[in-house]
Structure 1
Amino acid sequence: MVLKIHYKEGEAIRVGDVLITIGEAGEEVRKAEVKEKVYGEAVVGVLEEAPEEEEEKPAKKRAAVEAAAAGKVLAAPAVRRLAKELKIDVSQVKGTGKDGRITEEDVQRVAGKIPPAEKEEKEVEVKQVKKYDMYGYITRVPLKGVKKVVARKMREAISNAALVTHHDEADVTHLVEVRERHKEYAKGKGIRLTYIPFVIKTVIEGLKRYPYLNSTLENVGGEEYIILKKYFNIGVAVDTPDGVIVPVIKGADQKTVLDIAKEAEGLAEKARERKIDLADLKGSTFTITNVGFIGGTYFTPIPNHPEVAVLGLGRIEERPVVRGGKVVVRKVMPLSLTFDHRVVDGADAARFVNAVKEYLEDPDLFLVELGKQTG
């Protein structure tokens, strides 16, 4: 309750003066001690630091500690009132508040209203996670699941390889026509025909010519060996809600364009629905990643460690190209090949990309395969 009001209505009150005294009924009102301060005439002016307030904090803390040591009970009037209602002697309550102050929870705990507090050792183990930094509120997202695996693979690739990216572009005007011409036929078979199956077939032809891009660099018994793979298992990066997943089309050299299209679509769907088998994510020898359906041209993809190369595809777009001394509009696909320079020379990397371009720009091989499917 309010024991005394120290100022009358209309009187000026200076900062730091005591306005009212609050306590229990019958409690003696001690004279309020107001620390003398020098007040400036102007309120508006140069802002300065207030070291005197910082210096008072240790003094206040020492006073509180000394009070506790002297047996004085540190408790607010509301806490004392609660203790009186619950018939609790506040002098017998151990305070857990700042500087040993008794809180309402302390009183309720003694009265058996709430469970005992955990041991101090356990409280020390609890780490407070800040929801903000010095600029504003933040959200902390644990790195786990697929993203954690991808992060580890990317770190391994960067740390254990000398990566270089070679850029080029392919005139895929004829390939676009081929796909458009056979898209409805594939749809009738329940297959969505994209450019990926065509690229996979061209990549395999390039890998046959330059086998070092279809290899891994491994340490066997303390010796490093380049392991040339005689099979062609092509990984295709898939964007999923959980992150990038790379399903593998095994034995792709033994499959037709339509076979690959059907398998790639099925694996991608399983990956997005989190139903893919772990075995379908292993054993790749070379990876293809495509950002063209999102947008963008050239980029620097990172190989799927321990593979030594990855081919990135950009967005197909119309560009003016000189053909036979005339400027014509052609459809161009950007290509970005990242490779491990420890295993693959820059010249062979360029030759490999040229081989891929050769097949992309003249897809007669795919026409033959599609013809076989039709027959």
Structure 2
Amino acid sequence: MSGSRFPAERRHTLYHCDEIRAAAPVYLDTEVDMSGVERHRAAARQEGRRYSVVSYVLQAAGRVLARHPEANAAVRGRLRPRIARYDTVSGKVTLDKTLGGRRVVLATVVPELERSSLDAVQRHVERFRDGDPERMPEFAPVRKLHRLPVPVGRLLFRLATRSLAHRTELVGTVAVTSLGHRPVDGFQSVGGTTVTLGVGRVVERAVVRDGAVVVAPVMRLSMAFDHRVVDGAEAADVLAELKEFLETYGPQAALVPDGDRSAVSRATDPRPASAAGS
């Protein structure tokens, strides 16, 4: 057996996994009929616009968690535990990137999801999906973290991610991670937030509608929730409402909610990428 030093490019993932050990995750999953989403995607493609499934899930998370402040929250501290309930929903989305010649997981945080149009979410996702992490200024903190000695990097990561005041910009209030581009039906992940959504592939399956068996595009949607912050009944409500939002998706759902038209410009502004990296 031979060993080697832990890759510097993956230190942020190591630090992240160390930090989430205190969580008490419970796992749920459901199947979502994506017929409405797929119709919307097809119509958009005819107009020259393309939307990823992740963007729909992020938008759904923003609308649903805004109605569940108990789940859009975080806990910190052992002797004097505190719960912070956030007034905005920020979605951390994971990215498959190459850094220093090594394949790694990085992340970006999409702000103000509860007020964002689908176009705004998609533009943010595309910018970080297509950008070069070696050069993007938003990934400079991660690159710097990799250059620090491990004890120093671990300490700085802990201080940054445990600050309740900075969580929305660093790790978001909900995490979305997808392996749907591969033949993965479902998986569970803990993203460092109270609610983490795992997105599987969309595949044609047999479903029952009005007593008849038909074929429809179906996606497995998984959710991990931190039992320290929220209980199972409310978590199940969140998952059920996510399912309903996606299954009833139509053109109106893609727009900015009434009264929040000014949010489009805010939602498209680049924000610092998460240092959590997963």
Please indicate the TM-score interval, normalised by the length of the shorter structure: 0.7 to 0.9
**One-letter code aligned to 2:248:** D
Counterpart of 2:173?
Answer: 285
2:15 and 2:39 map into 1 onto residues whose CA distance is: 41
1:368 and 1:269 map into 2 onto residues whose CA distance is: 22
Q: Is residue 161 of structure 1 aligned with residue 9 of structure 2?
A: no
TM-fit CA distance, 1:354? 0.4
Counterpart of 1:296?
Answer: 184
SS at match of 1:212: coil
Q: In the superposition, relative to structure 1, how do residues 225 and 270 fare at CA in structure 2: closer, same or farther (>3 Å)?
A: same
2:40 and 2:13 map into 1 onto residues whose CA distance is: 35
Asked whether the 8 Å contact 1:303–1:339 carries over to 2, the reply is: no
Aligned CA-pair RMSD = 2.4
Residues 102-141 of structure 1: matches in 2 within 5 Å? 133=1, 138=2, 140-141=3-4
Q: Give aligned pairs, total.
A: 227
- Runs (4+) of structure 1 moved beyond 6 Å? none
One of 252, 258, 269 as aligned partner of 2:113: 252
**One-letter code aligned to 2:230:** V
Q: In the superposition, relative to structure 1, how do residues 202 and 365 fare at CA in structure 2: closer, same or farther (>3 Å)?
A: farther
Q: In the superposition, relative to structure 1, how do residues 263 and 368 fare at CA in structure 2: closer, same or farther (>3 Å)?
A: closer
1:141 and 1:240 map into 2 onto residues whose CA distance is: 22
One of 152, 155, 160 as aligned partner of 2:15: 152
Q: TM-score, normalised by structure 2?
A: 0.74
One of 198, 205, 226 as aligned partner of 1:319: 205
TM-fit CA distance, 1:147? 1.2
Asked whether the 8 Å contact 1:205–1:355 carries over to 2, the reply is: no
TM-fit CA distance, 1:254? 2.6
Counterpart of 2:245?
Answer: 359
TM-fit CA distance, 1:283? 4.8
One of 171, 179, 188 as aligned partner of 2:33: 171
2:74 and 2:178 map into 1 onto residues whose CA distance is: 22
SS at match of 2:220: strand
User: Unmatched 5+ residue regions in structure 1?
Assistant: 1-132
2:63 and 2:254 map into 1 onto residues whose CA distance is: 15
Percent identity between matched residues is 25
User: Unmatched 5+ residue regions in structure 2?
Assistant: 143-168, 265-278
2:219 and 2:7 map into 1 onto residues whose CA distance is: 35
1:276 and 1:270 map into 2 onto residues whose CA distance is: 10
1:251 and 1:271 map into 2 onto residues whose CA distance is: 24
SS at match of 2:183: coil
TM-fit CA distance, 1:276? 4.5
Q: Is residue 197 of structure 1 aligned with residue 85 of structure 2?
A: no
More strand by share: 2
SS at match of 2:47: helix
Greater gyration radius: 1
Q: TM-score, normalised by structure 1?
A: 0.56
SS at match of 1:277: helix
Counterpart of 1:216?
Answer: 74
**Greater relative contact order, per chain length (Cα 8 Å cut-off, separation 6+):** 2
Counterpart of 1:263?
Answer: 124
